[in-house]
Amino acid sequence: MENNNHLMKPTVLVVDDEERSARILKINFQENYNILIANNGKQALSILEHEPVNLILTDLRMPEMTGNELLQKIREMNLRIPVILMTAYGTIENAVESMKMGAFDYILKPLNLENLSITIKRALNYSSLLNENKRLKEQLKQYEGFRQIITINPDMKKLLELTKQVAATRVPVLIEGESGTGKELFARAIHYLSPRAGKSFVSINCGAIPAELIESELFGHEKGAFTGASAQKKGKFELAHQGTLFLDEIGELPKSMQVKLLRAIEEQQFTRVGGTQVIHTDIRFVAATNKDLNKEVEENRFRKDLYYRLKVVNIRILPLRERKEDIPLLTRHFLEKHQKDIGKNILDIDGKVLEMFMEYPWPGNVRELENIVMHTMLFSPGKTLIPDALPSEFVSHLQDVTKTGENNVPTTKEELQTEKKQRYKEIDKKLEYGFLDHVLHKTKGNITHAAELTGYDRRQLQNMIRKYHINTENYKK
């Protein structure tokens, strides 16, 4: 049976121009650590570009690049890897200088292996605490992102509840939706609301990688496996161990790779390209697509067995044109989100802008709305989002849509009634939100004052405000 402990071992990179010294370190520490060896600084930097490393143990005095110069390069790469320096008595001053540059510690030659072992453990514990803190901050940030999925649409609210429920399990999830609907945001929510939240969320876009490289990206490769494979590389499967692997645009995965992916998912094991060692993994799989995978299966472009393996739970995100009641909320959310980036304190929205947004079909969905709001903020001269600042392409497209709609007259009683209901519903939402937005701006979010001005009682206004998820604090600025 294959030993899978190497996946759990920290990786230590030993950098020393004396091969004998490096070999002794490997022999003594390989039981507890994955030991990589570089004979000089340049080789070390090459390894760091391709391989995750938990700790670096480097000699201080080396030809071409000193330990301090290597340390400087590592810091320039923004790598948070603890560095321990090995130095002789005569270079202690240089070692102290290294500590000021961010080295974790230094040890004296000839090496005391017992002391070195203690120092390595201390450095790895410190690094682990830093990484855990970083993970927790990222987890909080992503959870906040999930809370910012802005919607009052009943079907979308059901999806949010489903996402919370499925997050607690480890079953595969297939997320379907058009481009720009927020598929990755839902995938991240599944991960960060799950018991795996403290582990890695690893993403791969199956449509953005050339077919000849996709296997290496997923499973990694050994040194020399193919032209250009100058070092061993871990793939997404290995990096996602105990975490979540997000297979974005799974419908673009070449047919030749689908059977290999299916086998790896079913067996929870794989082999690197060019390697023979079987590596076992524990991964939660979430896939996403903007294609109709059922149709892809029928037309023999996607494997039926892989489709059903991934689609244990299915989440279909609505396009923005099917949840238009969310447009006013999303618009205000993006106004608040991008004020600092754009450097403008815009909180008011011209009623005509909202009217145009409600009529537009949004082929690019929420992502397109965010981009158009940012563009309009940038070119609005005052503190109000105005129609004249809208992108010309948007206005032109809207005019084309309006003309087409005018020619699209209902031809039966049922069609007429359906169209009237839909239009009345949209007009009601538009008027109601515009009314609340106006009066809350006028009263700076004071509900009691707003009730006096409008003739509503306070409770009725509060119910309307809750209906549109309006935060009255935003009007007090």
Handedness of CA 168, 180, 304, 204 (dihedral sign): negative
Q: Is residue 198 part of a domain?
A: yes
Q: How many domains does the chain have?
A: 3
278-332 confidence digits (pLDDT tens)? 999 999 999 999 999 999 999 999 999 999 999 999 999 999 999 998 998 899 8
Non-local (6+) Cβ contacts of 172 within 8 A are 265, 284, 285, 286, 287, 309, 310, 311, 312, 313
Q: Where a domain ends, among 277, 301, 318? A: 318
Q: Is residue 282 part of a domain?
A: yes
53-106 confidence digits (pLDDT tens)? 999 999 988 988 998 899 989 888 878 899 999 987 666 677 677 787 888 888
Domain region containing 348: 321-475
pLDDT of 83 reads: 93
7 pLDDT above the threshold of 60: no
pLDDT of 2 reads: 40
Q: Where a domain ends, among 303, 318, 333? A: 318
Reported as type and span, the H/E element at residue 143 is helix 113-147
> Higher model confidence: residue 5 or residue 294?
294
Q: Is residue 86 part of a domain?
A: yes
Would you give the end-to-end CA distance of the chain in angstroms? 65
5 pLDDT above the threshold of 50: no
Statement to judge: residues 448 and 337 lie in one domain: yes
Other CB atoms within a 10 A radius of the CB of residue 35 amount to: 20
Q: Strand 278-280 to strand 269-271: parallel, antiparallel, or no bridges (unpaired)?
A: antiparallel
pLDDT of 409 reads: 62
Q: How many residues does the chain have?
A: 477
Give me the long-range contacts of 128-137 (CB less than 8 A, separation at least 24).
130/80, 131/80, 132/198, 134/80, 135/198, 136/198
Of 3-7, 221-225, 254-258, 364-368, the one with minimum mean pLDDT is 3-7
Reported as type and span, the H/E element at residue 390 is none
Question: What's the whole-number average pLDDT of the chain?
Answer: 86
Q: Is residue 139 part of a domain?
A: no
Statement to judge: residues 310 and 341 lie in one domain: no
What mean pLDDT do residues 18-39 have? Answer: 93
Of the candidates 362, 390, 360, which has an alpha carbon nearest to the alpha carbon of residue 375?
Answer: 390
Q: Is residue 93 part of a domain?
A: yes
Statement to judge: residues 173 and 306 lie in one domain: yes
Q: What is the CATH number of the domain that holds 363?
A: 1.10.8.60
Answer whether 167's CB lies under 8 Å from 187's CB. no
Rounded to two decimals, the pTM is 0.61
171-188 confidence digits (pLDDT tens)? 999 999 999 999 998 999
Question: Which residue's entry shows tokens 């920290």?
Answer: 10
Statement to judge: residues 314 and 342 lie in one domain: no
137-161 confidence digits (pLDDT tens)? 665 555 554 666 788 888 998 999 9
Q: Is residue 144 part of a domain?
A: no
pLDDT of 257 reads: 94
Q: What angle do CA 210, 311, 163 make, to 5 degrees?
A: 105
Statement to judge: residues 400 and 424 lie in one domain: yes
How far is Cα 181 from Cα 274, in angstroms, rounded to an integer?
A: 38
pLDDT of 96 reads: 72
Of 169-178, 296-305, 365-374, 434-443, the one with minimum mean pLDDT is 434-443
Q: Strand 201-205 to strand 313-316: parallel, antiparallel, or no bridges (unpaired)?
A: unpaired
pLDDT of 95 reads: 66
Q: Is residue 140 part of a domain?
A: no
Non-local (6+) Cβ contacts of 219 within 8 A are 235, 237, 238, 260, 264, 270, 271, 272, 273
Statement to judge: residues 75 and 14 lie in one domain: yes
Statement to judge: residues 65 and 172 lie in one domain: no
pLDDT of 92 reads: 67
118-130 confidence digits (pLDDT tens)? 999 999 988 887 7
Q: What is the CATH number of the domain that holds 124?
A: 3.40.50.2300
* Beta bridge mates, 15: 38, 58
Statement to judge: residues 307 and 168 lie in one domain: yes
What mean pLDDT do residues 430-440 have? Answer: 81
Statement to judge: residues 69 and 166 lie in one domain: no
Other CB atoms within a 10 A radius of the CB of residue 340 amount to: 9
Statement to judge: residues 244 and 345 lie in one domain: no
Statement to judge: residues 294 and 440 lie in one domain: no
What mean pLDDT do residues 420-428 have? Answer: 68
Q: Is residue 141 part of a domain?
A: no
- DSSP state, residue 319: P
Of the candidates 318, 302, 321, 361, which has an alpha carbon nearest to the alpha carbon of residue 155?
Answer: 318
Q: Where a domain ends, among 106, 134, 162? A: 134
Half-sphere exposure (Cβ direction) of 95: Cα atoms closer than 13 Å: 19
Statement to judge: residues 471 and 365 lie in one domain: yes
Q: What is the CATH number of the domain that holds 184?
A: 3.40.50.300
pLDDT of 203 reads: 95
